[in-house]
Amino acid sequence: MRILVLGAGAVGGYFGGRLAEAGRDVTFLVRPARAALLEQRGLVVTSPLGDFTVTPRFVTADTLRGAYDVILLTAKHYDLDQAIAAIRPAVGPGTAILPLLNGLVHLDRLGEAFGGEAILGGVAYVGASLRPDGSIRHHNRLSGIAFGERAGGVSSRTRAIGAEFEGSKVSAPPSENVMLDMWEKFVMITTMAGMNCLMRGTIGEIAATEDGAALMLELFAENQAVAKAAGYPLRQSYIDQIGAMLTEKGSVNNASMHHDLAHGSRTEGEYIIGDMRHRAAALGVATPLLRAAWTHLQVYENRRAG
């Protein structure tokens, strides 16, 4: 399969790099400055699963030609319109678009642009960051993707995509129920990012306070209630696993949204925290802590916008 990866940042660079390492037909669509760096140094990844460097195939907007079988889409929500315009020349009648963005709001926007049948559901499980020198640091041993048909079940195209990851260091079997996978990740990231931002601290710093762990679990319960009302009750095994992770003492886990907020950067709050809040309101679910987290982020973004 011909695979196009939009960008070669932390997430796209990691997963695309692992595919390239495994000898797959991968091309990165990048900006000129990133292209120059890749040409000079290659794609360098340091990882607990093994460091590697590949000399990747890449194109820029002016050299992108022909349709691809799969497009791996990793972008910030607020850059999605630019991402749609960038990949449009690479989308053919049989192209499958696999977005790895948090939340759900992007699915409708991509469907409007390319048709709903082209859009798969997807969730990334990885901790990675882009270093100033252009290399990628993989922080943990998480290295997986849940993806599949949004209507459920496993199709011939998702089996074919899953086969591309076989033999790589990415676990990516096609999912029977990817929308539940996406809702579970949506609930988790909304809870973690909401509390990290509201309390301006890591999970461990929040858990070290008198009421921090209890408040974290209260927000977790609110977001679970939204998912259940939407028709996607979380699996008990996931609730247990994430509940423990969100209240772990000494944990340095910290959502990238809080990192952006702490550095005065634009956040994805509108598309994650705000979208969950709007879904809760539409479904009639009471979410007092979620409302506080969303209001806090709105104050920050309004101040930042001047």
Q: Are 45 and 135 in contact (CB under 8 A)?
A: yes
Element at 4 (helix H, strand E): strand 3-6
Amino acid 140: pLDDT: 86
Strand order, beta sheet including 43-46? 52-54, 43-46, 136-148, 121-130
Please, what is the end-to-end C-alpha distance for the chain in angstroms? 47
- b/e 101-115 (16+ beta carbons within 10 angstroms → b): bbbbbbbebbeebbe
The residue written with tokens 């409708």 in the block is 108
Domains of the chain: residue spans and CATH: 3-176 (3.40.50.720), 181-304 (1.10.1040.10)
185: annotated active-site residue: yes
Query: Torsion over CA of 196, 202, 203 and 206, rounded to 10 degrees?
Result: -80
Ramachandran sector of residue 42 (left: φ over 0; alpha: ψ -120 to 50; beta: rest)? left
Threshold 0.85, pTM exceeds: yes
Question: What's the rounded Cα separation, in Å, for the pair 191 and 195?
Answer: 6
Give CA–CA dist 104/202, Å, rounded: 25
Return the pLDDT at 222: 98
Q: How far apart are CA 126 and CA 146, in angstroms?
A: 11
pLDDT in tens, the chain (306 residues): 999 999 999 999 999 999 999 999 999 999 999 999 999 999 999 999 999 999 999 999 999 999 999 999 999 999 999 999 999 999 999 999 999 999 999 999 999 999 999 999 999 999 899 999 999 999 888 899 999 999 999 999 999 999 999 999 999 999 999 999 999 999 999 999 999 999 999 999 999 999 999 999 999 999 999 999 999 999 999 999 999 999 999 999 999 999 999 999 999 999 999 999 999 999 999 999 999 999 999 999 999 998
Q: Give the count of alpha carbons within 13 A of 163, CB side only.
A: 9
Distance separating alpha carbons of residues 86 and 270, to the nearest angstrom = 23
